[in-house]
Structure 1
């Protein structure tokens, strides 16, 4: 009889343990489900990472002579007369001195202009080393016979504008230099 009482007690206890365990598992699953749904809902309503992608940098704006700023990629900017734009000039610090292709050397002091807001000049100053390196490399590719002529200097100014803008685009996503000026130029 004692064996049958023990067997009955064990049979009664087994379902109780299983019942408690089921409740704990169901509670944990319920909490997990609610947390997962809440997180997914928050992620969905926040826009999700896949939809956001990389943020587009805020581009410099064209500046009119009256100080009004115009988005550089707007349709209005395409219809603006260049004479209406405010031009900002920036003198590069220190002269550029380099050997020239085929012999000789050149020394130049350079200034740039832009019709855009101060962010272009700020970018030139921030990335001064990269911009200066690009300028020196381009000057070094020139030859003294060409750089001694007016047409050669004009061509070099155009090429320098391109390498400066290329460097700025690599570093900031936007160029913005409109002209390059030689404030001093010596070729020997």
Structure 2
């Protein structure tokens, strides 16, 4: 008996074979694309190395002044002054406190910077609890108007820096914090 559908027409044979063939072709194309991608991705030279190679090929051989002379390399004199490395420390939890005379509160992430040695940042970590208390006292003494805008944030940063250095000087004999930053600044 022939395959007959409900409306009386005959059902086409080979539906499964056709689907299987399409699946095999799709897998073949996908694997071919993968192999081609791998081939082109395995370049022997990174783009940076390629640029350096091109500069070397076209570099000093093709550079001449108006008289046809190739310029000579001139060594740069390095400054004798030492270069200081800036180190940063970020308090792990943000500080949250009410602002003076307001129902709004301010949430701050606090980051510190110093160009002194690691001892300054170790002192900050050692006295983190006392420093957080001092910072909360300073922040809560500011009003909404005091912390608005760049000038307000800068004033808060200076006040926090001074409070931190005062505490460290009392406890360790030296402050050393040069900058206070706000990676998080939310007023609600």
- Which interval holds the TM-score relative to the shorter structure? 0.5 to 0.7
Aligned residue number for residue 96 of structure 2: 97
Structure 2: how far apart are the matches of 1:164 and 1:80? 29
Indicate the SS of the match to 1:124: helix
Deviations 1:18-77 (A, max 9, x none): xxxxxxxxxxxxxxxxxxxxxxxxxxxxxxxxxxxxxxxxxxxxxxxxxxxxxxxxxxxx
Deviations 1:131-155 (A, max 9, x none): 0001000000001122121110011
Structure 2: how far apart are the matches of 1:102 and 1:85? 42
CA contact (8 A) 1:148 1:187 kept: no
Aligned residue number for residue 177 of structure 1: 177
Aligned residue number for residue 107 of structure 1: 107
Aligned residue number for residue 167 of structure 2: 167
Q: Does 1:120 align with 2:104?
A: no
CA contact (8 A) 1:147 1:187 kept: no
Q: Normalization by structure 2: what TM-score?
A: 0.55
Equivalences for 1:126-141 in 2 at 5 Å? 126-141=126-141
CA contact (8 A) 1:88 1:114 kept: yes
Indicate the SS of the match to 2:146: helix
Q: How many residues align?
A: 108
Indicate the SS of the match to 2:186: strand
Structure 2: where are the runs of 5+ without partners? Answer: 1-79
Structure 2: how far apart are the matches of 1:163 and 1:137? 9
Deviation of residue 80 (structure 1)? 5.3
Indicate the SS of the match to 2:169: helix
Coordinate RMSD, CA, aligned: 1.4
Indicate the SS of the match to 2:108: strand
Structure that is richer in helix per residue: 1
Aligned residue number for residue 187 of structure 2: 187
Deviation of residue 93 (structure 1)? 1.3
Structure 1: how far apart are the matches of 2:145 and 2:162? 22
